[in-house]
Amino acid sequence: MKNKDAAQLLLKYRQGNCTEAELAMLESWYLNYNEAPLSELTPEVLDFARNKVWASLPVHQHKKTLRLWPMMAAAASAIIIVAAGLFFFQNTKKAETVKKSADFVKILPGGNKAVLTLADGSKISLTDVKEGSLANQSGVTITKTKDGQLVYQVNKSEVQKGGSIGYNTFSTPRGGKYEVNLPDGTKVILNAESSLKYPMVFAGNERKVELKGEAYFEVAYNKNMPFRVVSDHHTIEVLGTHFNVNAYDDEENIKTTLLEGKVKVSVDKGTSVVIKPGEQAIAGKSNIKVDEVNTDDIVAWTTDTFVFNNENLGSIMRKISRWYDVDVVCPPELAKMEFAGTISRQKNIKAVLKIMDMTETVHFKFEGRRITVMP
């Protein structure tokens, strides 16, 4: 792409008039440029980038919010989007922090990885096992589909003969994600470093599961058997709905976000709220706050996209740690900084951290799979 064409395309980008094809071209151009010397760019293009684009990126002194990438339409969410100023305005010496570590380059994105623990304690690695029938327990057949999902099929007559109902636990490691269809038809996508415990067959007057970590649920409707998700001090009750639960042990609160239907969220000490679509219940140990949110942002992880909406760096780095299976050290004073942006979770970790490094506000030191955030 010629510099003149680049400037024109950047102008369209700033005006919000780029097509998907042009956005893809812009990404390709950036990736090609990224290995080229800065001297190849003309003064005119540099002036455009610095004065018209870089200067427009907001930096708020009190909240320290840095807008790295503009939020784009869902159709373009699979493309890595970088604020136009970052295409040009970089400090090559400091960017070398990212380039030098050979170990760092080997850190790849997560993928479909999970372990199924059966009622008898035996474990099945869903990452390695081939498609087809995995187990048959007391009338319940567990199958791995061609596209990698886990599906339960229940023979009710055999189950009734079997007596007591056993429990399965479905868990993902750091760097893992997986989808399971529960015995009642409920669809669950489990995020990295998470686990879900559930009965092989739902019986009685409720469908109860236990969650650690984060999961997205599409609950099969059954008015006679409410579906309950229990996480630490927190319970969610629904009949049939779509919602997301973030209940990691290292997060301060448990967040329940509703996409469809109606959900009742309760904490152990008796406080409860009913939320409607577009709302998020943020539950502490004894209280619950309700906020309006962009639900597409909350569940973007299910389509392998990171969306940071004025999110503090501490939270961002915890997400990166879980998905890329790395250890992160982030000083408290830097953890409070806020960033906004969108990037594919299928990018190498190098692409994610390099963009933040280029803002010249934070930098990263790499020691194998250990990353330290520095000013």
Tens of pLDDT, residue by residue over 359-372, are 778 889 888 889 99
Residue 347 CB partners (closer than 8 Å, separation 6+): 80, 109
Rg of the chain, C-alpha, whole Å: 23
Of 366, 343, 367, residue with least CA distance to 355:
343
Q: How much is the pLDDT for 119?
A: 85
> Per-residue pLDDT for 83 more than 80?
no
Rounded Cα–Cα distance for residues 248 and 318 (Å): 10
Rounded Cα–Cα distance for residues 237 and 293 (Å): 20
| Orientation angle between helical segments 349-357 and 92-99, nearest 10 degrees | 160
Kindly state the percentage of the chain with pLDDT values over 70: 70
Tokens 């990166």 identify what position? Answer: 320
Rounded Cα–Cα distance for residues 140 and 118 (Å): 11
Rounded Cα–Cα distance for residues 89 and 86 (Å): 5
Burial of 371 (0-12, 13-18, 19+ CB in 10 A): buried
- For the chain, the straight-line distance linking the first and the last C-alpha, in angstroms and rounded, comes to 35
Neighbours of 279 (CB within 10 A): 18
Confidence band of 27 (pLDDT split at 50, 70, 90): low
> Per-residue pLDDT for 30 more than 70?
no
Rounded Cα–Cα distance for residues 137 and 183 (Å): 12
Rounded Cα–Cα distance for residues 308 and 305 (Å): 10
Rounded Cα–Cα distance for residues 108 and 349 (Å): 6
Q: How much is the pLDDT for 87?
A: 30
Rounded Cα–Cα distance for residues 160 and 171 (Å): 27
Burial of 70 (0-12, 13-18, 19+ CB in 10 A): middle
Of 86, 55, 88, 53, residue with least CA distance to 68:
86
Tokens 């190498």 identify what position? Answer: 348
Token pair listed for 58: 């907001």
The enclosing H or E element of 159 equals helix 156-162
- Indicate the residue type of 17: N
| Chain mean pLDDT for the chain | 76
Q: How much is the pLDDT for 140?
A: 80
Q: How much is the pLDDT for 157?
A: 64
Q: How much is the pLDDT for 340?
A: 81
Q: What is the DSSP letter of 315?
A: H
Confidence band of 130 (pLDDT split at 50, 70, 90): confident
Mean pLDDT of 340-347: 86
